[in-house]
Amino acid sequence: MAEETIFSKIIRREIPADIVYQDDLVTAFRDINPRAPSHMLIIPNKLIPTVNDIEADDEAAMGRMFTVARKLAEEEGIAENGYRLIMNCNNHGGQEVYHIHMHLLGGRPLGPLLLG
């Protein structure tokens, strides 16, 4: 059984976070240390530690992460100019929180930005 991270507490609203979207499968909130004018994290409500742990049963939640990314980008007004979606995996990927999350970054030209 994987160990919970701070993100599980955010999903359950036990600690404060700027939650911008939540449904039965995913939660999205603003990154506490934004690297761009718009920087949000979209996460599955189920604890999946890394991309290596995604299973076939998780495909609905993984798909929902993309449709929510699209919706949030539109709402933020960054859809047309463009944005970047990033998922870091394990040490070499620069993953810090072991509950998978999709970074949604935009609001300025991102150049060669790497997160990690």
Least distance from ligand AMP to the Cβ atom of residue 33, Å: 4
Amino acid found at 74: E
Which of 2, 60, 97, 113 touches ligand AMP (CB under 6 A)?
A: 97
Element (H, E) at 43: strand 38-44
- Per-residue binding string, ligand AMP, 12-51, x by CB under 6 A, is -----x-----------x-xxx-------x----------
101 is catalytic: yes
CA separation, residue 55 to residues 4, 30, 68, 112 (Å): 18, 26, 20, 31
Residues 6 or more apart whose Cβ sits within 8 Å of residue 4: 47, 99
- Per-residue binding string, ligand AMP, 46-75, x by CB under 6 A, is ------------------------------
Question: What would the two tokens of residue 92 be?
Answer: 């070499």
Enumerate the active-site residues: 101
